[in-house]
Structure 1
Amino acid sequence: MPFLKFVEVGRVAYLAGGPSEGKLAVIVDIINGTSALIDGPCSGVPRQEYKFSNMHLTKFTVKIHNGQHSKFVKKAWNDANISEKWEASNWAKNIEARAKRASLTDYDRFKLGKAKQARNRIITQAFLRLRAKAKKAKAGESK
């Protein structure tokens, strides 16, 4: 399968490590094989050098030129609706769900477990009823 996400000027990256962890930024310039100049004027990331090992490339890109100023990066970000697209992505939803699970207390986890047990009990009972009906129908056809 070919690569679909390349390190390029205008690529939006999720910052997984370092001082701006958990935010989005745009690659403005490629410095060398291990780092890039990034800028995130809409997400609160200052223009800085960032290592590729601390960022994950997203599928989103903005149309900017090499070394573009922050105000043009911000305009391109808003024109491409990156914030809205990111919030709608499964990646962002999974990050939010993980944070929500991490913030649960012991009692919340207990209540969640009991709710899952009740849901599974209802599903199992419905399945068993349908299976019994199917067996009766099959037994009636074979006679």
Structure 2
Amino acid sequence: MPFTRFVEIGRVAMVSYGPEHGKLVVISDVVDQNRAVIDRPDEIRRVMPFKRLILTDFKCEMTRLAKKKELSAALEESGAFEKFAKSAWGQKLAKRKAKANLSDFERYQAMKKKQTRSKEISKVAESMQ
């Protein structure tokens, strides 16, 4: 299986470190072999090293250093952020975030639900033997 996640203009990437950790951004331009200009419709364009970016499978068709309006239109047309949210990776991150935001009582309810499910699975497994 060949490598498909290349650094290119319009490639959607996720920030893996820093205050923007977990946010999706779009590569607008490549500065050199270590850095890229990243952009997002609601944020300021800036330079970020590749070490802090995780490339995704999604890409939007846009020109180099596109204006915010063009970037928004390209993202809307490709639906890259929505596709990422529907992917297994995006769903896993959403579940992780939801679990981190649970209250004490919700964690207790989840624990009890898990215990009940485990007991039922044990009963079925014992009856099969």
Q: Partner residue of 2:119?
A: 121
Listed as ranges, the matches of 1:58-77 within 5 Å are 58-77=56-75
Deviation at 1:124, TM superposition (A): 1.7
CA contact (8 A) 1:11 1:26 kept: yes
One-letter code aligned to 2:27? I
- 1:119 and 1:12 map into 2 onto residues whose CA distance is 39
1:104 pairs with one of 85, 102, 105:
102
Q: Partner residue of 2:45?
A: 47
One-letter code aligned to 1:16? S
- 2:13 and 2:24 map into 1 onto residues whose CA distance is 6
Q: Partner residue of 1:140?
A: none
Q: Secondary structure at 2:98's aligned position in 1?
A: helix
1:93 pairs with one of 91, 94, 108:
91
CA contact (8 A) 1:23 1:45 kept: no
Unaligned runs of 5+ in 1: 133-143
Unaligned runs of 5+ in 2: none
Change (3 A) 1:120 1:19: closer
TM-score (norm 2): 0.87
Q: Partner residue of 1:33?
A: 33
One-letter code aligned to 1:67? L
- 2:121 and 2:84 map into 1 onto residues whose CA distance is 34
One-letter code aligned to 2:33? G
- 1:19 and 1:31 map into 2 onto residues whose CA distance is 22
Deviations 1:16-58 (A, max 9, x none): 22343322111110001111011111xx232111111111111
Q: Greater CA radius of gyration, 1 or 2?
A: 1
Deviation at 1:123, TM superposition (A): 1.4
Q: Secondary structure at 2:85's aligned position in 1?
A: helix
CA RMSD, aligned part only? 1.8
